[in-house]
Amino acid sequence: MIVLNGLCINKTAIYFILLSLIPQIATYLPSHDGVSPLLKTNTNSKNAGVYMRLMPTGLAYLREVGMRVVNDEILRIQLPTMRESIDTGRVSIRKAYVSKYWAPTEYSLDLSPPNMFTWSMSKMHIRAAGDFEANMNSPLLLPSMPIRGQFETLLGHVSMTISVKIEKSPLGTPAVRTEFCKTEVGYVDLNVRDTGVITDFFINAFKAFIIANFKPMVEGRVCQMVKKVVDGNMNNFLSTMPLQVPLSENSVNILEQTFGLAPRKPLSRFGDVGARNFTLNEFINNLRQKNLVMDFQLIRDPLISYGVIDMFAKGEISWKGLGKTPFDPPNVRLPPPNGIHMAEFYGTDYIANSLLYHAYKQKYMDMVIGPESSPQLKTLLVTTCDTGFCIGEFLGTLSKQYPDREVEVHYSASKAPVMIFVQNRARFRIHGKMNLLLRPVNNSQVKTVIIRAESVMTSNINLRISGMRITGNASVEKLDFKLLESRIQDVDQASFGDLGLFGAEFLEHLLTDILQVGIMIPTMKGVVLRNPKLSLHDRYVKVETFFKLDEGFAGQVVEGAVRQTLNNIGR
């Protein structure tokens, strides 16, 4: 029992009061996850990291290419065995194929908010041929005697209207659902031969039975097949679409992997952890080879408005695709669709910052820098200057204390770097720890730490697209050093801080060299971007582009999709 200001308070009560206050106190304590508060401000867990917009010109192009591909591929279709019961008996069709096809002369693709599109085709004709067997219940025909032979049928003035909704599946893949389907066949013409029936009377009777039932059967079965393909097979295909793509892949092979035309590549189970001696101009490419994976899963249903289709993807880059980024995508206001380009991509700075965070957590930002790391450093990171300027002359008595030695820099990020997109540029800040070491010149020596320091660099980055690479240049706005320990005479905080003046200019050239190497723009196999343009805005980067499909590749994809679909038709 404790007496406080005349009040008697039980120790157990105090204990429980303190326990209840811990969560509230914790909210006021500084975070130690290495994340800047900027990345936790003005964000929402329901936001997308990537926005993809298919423009009216892109939709019109896909409609035309789609019709050309379908027109080419439909003649290659081998129809499966079909068995159908009709009022007057049962008909089986085998080895059927499309022998001639007249493409629709009228077709359209209409979009309806919030997430439905309608595909209409009319005035198309299809001729099919194959083998048949019929068991007819007719007083004119013997019931025990099946009619076998070959047939050729013409479906004339066929029209079809299909309305489909686009949604997000529970897995985060696109999903489709048939809302409406109607097929109309203007007329049916049927020829049979090699039936073994002696007289035309029996042939004509058989044809009359088939034609009377064939037209409504085709109209009904086509929509049944469409619903089965769209609601069943297509969603099965879409559910296998790879949603996590390693950054090391320049060409995302989503379509071939989805339709079983290419093997899936498993992610590596192990990654390099720890510092490496980098060639700085290859730093970005080295970073891309790590087990960093971008998540493309949809976070909500696609949206149709203003004649365009918007899709919203997670856009998180994480180690092995495991996620767990401790901040969310920012709130952004995207402009309404405008222009003649075919597609728009909006990437928020969440993409860059999730990449930088997980690179920091996996120590991918740690590096060892030596004279061999870049041409600029070859004559700089030495204690004795043969020509020009070197670090030995700048840092106190370094050149006298340790002549003819190479200097090695061990750098590690002390916090997750931050990149914020603003109008026309990106702002980048990184906090780091830096140790300067002397390399041994013989076996009796070891590496010796001569300086321990901390640094903060703030820079502005301008980005642009050159060919199929994102390149740019950098300007260092501020570079501060804090000296923690020095084994060099005449080096204190004041003299060491002056290193920032020289270091800023040097790093500006170095960062620009790295950015000039560029990053390849990831593309989908079979899709070629044309004349992409990049612009930076408040918290997002916008890429607007034209594109072209490889129609040969698209044909292979359609053929693979049709082959898988027809495996289930007619069963």
How confident is the model at residue 502, as a pLDDT?
67
**What are the distances in angstroms from CA 51 to CA 113, 344, 497?**
18, 8, 43
Mean of all residue pLDDT scores within the chain = 79
pLDDT grade for 272, boundaries at 50, 70 and 90 = very low
pLDDT grade for 83, boundaries at 50, 70 and 90 = confident
For residue 160, give the H/E element and its range: strand 147-168
How confident is the model at residue 256, as a pLDDT?
44
State the CATH class of domain 56-241+550-568.
alpha beta
Summarised one tens digit per residue, pLDDT across range 110-157 is: 999 999 999 899 999 989 888 888 776 665 555 556 778 888 888 899
User: What is the CATH number assigned to the segment(s) 365-520?
Assistant: 3.15.20.10
- b/e burial code for range 322-336 (CB count within 10 A of at least 16 → b): eeebebbbbebeeee
- In the chain, pLDDT over 90 holds for what percent of residues? 32
| Identical topology for domains 56-241+550-568 and 365-520 | no
Phi-psi region of 279 (alpha: psi -120 to 50; beta: other; left: phi over 0): beta
Summarised one tens digit per residue, pLDDT across range 424-467 is: 999 999 999 989 999 998 888 899 999 999 989 999 999 888 87
The residue that leads in pLDDT, 261 or 144, is 144
Alpha helices (H) along 194-320: 200-227, 235-239, 254-258, 283-288
Structure tokens at 109: 């693709």
DSSP 470: E
CB distance 479 to 505 below 8 Å = no
Instruction: Give the range among 141-145, 240-244, 310-314, 535-539 with minimum mean pLDDT.
Output: 141-145
Residue type, 20: S
Summarised one tens digit per residue, pLDDT across range 505-530 is: 767 776 777 677 666 676 666 788 88
Q: Where are the domains of the chain?
A: 56-241+550-568, 365-520
Phi-psi region of 89 (alpha: psi -120 to 50; beta: other; left: phi over 0): left
How confident is the model at residue 301, as a pLDDT?
94
pLDDT grade for 326, boundaries at 50, 70 and 90 = very high
How confident is the model at residue 426, as a pLDDT?
93
Q: Give DSSP secondary structure letters for 358-423.
A: HHHHTTTT-EEE-GGG-HHHHTTSBSS-SSS--HHHHSTTHHHHSTT-BEEEEEEESS--EEEEET
> How far apart are alpha carbons 354 and 345 in whole angstroms?
18
- Residue 212 pLDDT exceeds 90: no
Q: Please compute the mean of the pLDDT values over residues 50-61 and round it to a whole number.
A: 93
> How far apart are alpha carbons 499 and 453 in whole angstroms?
12
Other Cβ atoms closer than 10 A to 94: 14
pTM (whole model) above 0.95 = no
pLDDT grade for 286, boundaries at 50, 70 and 90 = low
> How far apart are alpha carbons 53 and 304 in whole angstroms?
10
How confident is the model at residue 265, as a pLDDT?
47
Q: Please compute the mean of the pLDDT values over residues 375-383 and round it to a whole number.
A: 84
The residue that leads in pLDDT, 50 or 501, is 50
- Residue 199 pLDDT exceeds 70: no
The separation between CA 8 and the C-alpha centre of its own chain, rounded to angstroms, equals: 64
- Residue 167 pLDDT exceeds 90: yes
